Amino acid sequence: MRFGVIGTNWITEEFIRAGQEVEGFSLGAVYSRTIDRAKEFAELFDAPHAFTDIDEMVTSNVIDAVYIASPNSFHAEQAIQCMNQGMHVLCEKPFASNIAEVEAMIQAAKKNDVLLMEAVKSTLAPNFFAIQENLHKLGKIRRYAASNCQYSSRYDAYKEGTVLRAFDPFFSNGALMDIGIYCLYPLVVLFGEPTGIKAEGILLESGVDGEGSILLKYAEHDAVISYSKITTSYLPAEIQGEEATMVIDKINHPQKVEIRYRDGRIEDVTRAQTPKTMHYEIREFIRLLQAGTKESATNSHAASRATMQIMDEARRQIGLVFPADQRGGNQG
């Protein structure tokens, strides 16, 4: 499967290095806004082609699919541009800037009969399926609690007056979009859409959120989410049931999963997995393409849609607005 990549950054490097260890993966082309950067990146990873025009890349017959890892605010436009040329798309999280863009992407995928999947790596890892398949042991679920707080390496520069992309609203960035989604997406895959949302957040002067918390209501349980790019937390995630509690070391990269029963027993349900969790999203995407399937059952369109609806409502409640919101859903 020949991939073209859009975005020449550390996450793209991680994707390519993981892909090179997956059977059926090959790197066919690199896109960048400048030919020098495109060629530099292509040479680094032995990609045979470099482009500065997305349409030219996707109509060149040298790739079968596109991985998009550009800034968040460009995801929808670029994904739709690729899909309108009949190209399959694996798009980094968050899928887009808002629900209007997500709906436009899904519509484009259906219209062009192509595969579109959000690249949330954690929900395709073996330990996420361990979580999913052992939930019944907890009894009636009463609470999902997840924290993803990582002091950003770019925050020191921000405090010194340099606003990098991570803290620039033009790129639809900030704590919720960048890392809060790692708490929300698994919640939606496991339990679906909530019936109520209450959000609080700390807005920075640049116009993005530095941290926030969300309380979500379900019919018989609640969910408590906390996320931050300006502090660090070491708390594990928990799914609390009436008979037992599941403890997950890291919700964004689950490596250890235990069930702690009320009688004191501890059951380790951890599964073996590679350190590079991107292996699993790449395998899933290639498997779907080979099967002729246009949507993942786990990282589904419905999961992407519901997660973005939660983030839109949370942003509305804390007053977080992106320039992309003014454009609406007219992406193509």
234: left (phi over 0), alpha (psi -120 to 50) or beta: alpha
pLDDT in tens, 183-213: 999 999 999 999 999 999 999 999 999 999 9
Three-class SS of residue 197?
strand
In terms of Cα–Cα distance, which of 242, 251, 244 is closest to 145? 251
Give me the residues of the chain with pLDDT under 50, please.
329-332
Backbone region of residue 49 per phi and psi (left: phi > 0; alpha: psi in -120 to 50; beta: other values): beta
Nearest to 149 by CA among 180, 174, 170, 128: 180
Whole-number pLDDT of residue 332? 38
Report how far residue 252's alpha carbon sits from residue 237's, in angstroms, rounded to the nearest whole number.
10
pLDDT digits (tens, 9 = 90+) for 123-149: 999 999 999 999 999 999 999 999 999
Give the model's pLDDT for residue 330.
Answer: 40
Q: Contact 187/223 with Cβ under 8 angstroms?
A: yes
The pLDDT value given to residue 328: 57
Helix axes 126-134, 181-191, angle to 10 degrees: 40
Phi-psi category of residue 61: left, alpha or beta, with phi > 0 → left and psi -120 to 50 → alpha: left
**Given this model, what pLDDT does residue 74 score?**
97
Listed residue (143, 191, 199) closest to 175, CA to CA: 199
Q: How far is residue 252 from each of residues 15, 115, 123, 124, 299, measured CA to CA in Å?
A: 16, 24, 9, 11, 14
pLDDT recorded at residue 329: 45
Whole-number pLDDT of residue 83: 98
Report H helices in 224-300: 278-291
The Cα–Cα gap between 99 and 21 comes to: 34
The identity of residue 26, as a single letter, is S
Count of other CB atoms within 10 angstroms of residue 213: 18
Bridge partners for 26 per DSSP: 2
Supply the pTM of this predicted model: 0.95
Question: Which among 105, 112, 69, 113 has a CA at the least distance from the CA of 329?
Answer: 105
Amino acid identity for residue 33 in this structure: R
Whether 30 contacts 47, CB under 8 Å: yes
Please answer whether residues 135 and 141 qualify as being in contact, where contact means their C-beta atoms are separated by less than 8 angstroms.
yes
Judge whether 2 and 62 are in contact, CB under 8 Å.
Answer: yes
